Amino acid sequence: MLTGSVPSTFVNLSGLTHLDLSSNALTGGLPASLSSMVNLVGLYVQQNRLSGPLDELFKKSIERRIEIVNLSCNVFSGFLPKSFGNMSYLTLLDLHINGFTGEVPPEFGNLAQLEYLDISGNKLCGQIPDEICSVQNLFFLDFSDNRLEGRIPSNGICSNLTKASLDGNKDLCGGIVGLRSSTLLLSSLKESDSATFSSSTAVASFSPSTTDFPTFSTSGSGYGGPSFSTTAVMGVSATTKKQSQHRK
């Protein structure tokens, strides 16, 4: 098990594409020099004791290529950087169980390739930005256990979600009139989409078994709309499979 801080000398590894320091006992902040790693595609530092803000890290060259960022289960703090929205190739962003504060940046709506977004277990406040609704590739979204408030976006969250959780945000309210029926259909995620992530070290906590059925969870929030159960959609698996094949 590695201890101590993350060395700034990683920047000298100019050809490095994946940096995996997960499941150690690393402390301190991530060195700002990581932002100069022009070929970095995946950054995995989950399950450590890393801390500090991220303001200066996700800028410059790192925005150009990075696809996977997993900073979960640490003690990072401060605001979520707006510069996340400049990562045009980002497909997975996992920040759950940290100490982030402030609002969810509307710039997240610029992440056209994003498929997996988990910012649960932080201290985020304010409303869910309407811009999130424009991320059409998103199939996993978890905003649970924060301090979010206000109305859930009236035009729904995302059209292709197979799992969404808003649990533990007691001041959320309103309906989800625009949540499309495709969100509620039994998906072939285990057969297709999840294979993309399970074949890599993208996120240690991601398990295909948790997304066999579509889920929209609002337990513990102030949500006033209908509740959905997996048993209600058991009969539509064939329809969804056809839709999935069509997307391919």
Over 36-61, what HEC string results?
HCCCCCEEECCCCEEEECCCCCCCHH
pLDDT computed for residue 221 by the predictor: 52
pLDDT computed for residue 58 by the predictor: 76
Residue 144 has pLDDT above 80, yes or no: yes
Question: Quick check: 188 and 239 in contact, CB under 8 A?
Answer: no
- Specify the higher pLDDT residue, 237 or 131: 131
Residue 124 has pLDDT above 70, yes or no: yes
Least-confidence region, from 2-11, 121-130, 226-235: 226-235
pLDDT digits (tens, 9 = 90+) for 178-204: 333 333 332 333 233 333 443 233 333
Quickly state the pLDDT bin for 32 (edges 50, 70, 90): confident
Give the pLDDT mean for 173-180.
49
pLDDT computed for residue 205 by the predictor: 33
Report how many domains make up the chain: 1
- Strands of 215-217's sheet, edge to edge? 18-20, 42-44, 68-70, 92-94, 116-118, 140-142, 163-165, 215-217
Single pTM value for the model: 0.73
pLDDT computed for residue 175 by the predictor: 52
Cα distance between residue 69 and residue 43, in whole Å:
5
pLDDT computed for residue 114 by the predictor: 97
Q: Go through the chain and tell me how many residues it has.
A: 248
Q: What is the mean pLDDT of the chain?
A: 74
The range of the structural domain enclosing residue 89 comes to: 3-247
CATH of the domain at 139: 3.80.10.10
pLDDT computed for residue 210 by the predictor: 36
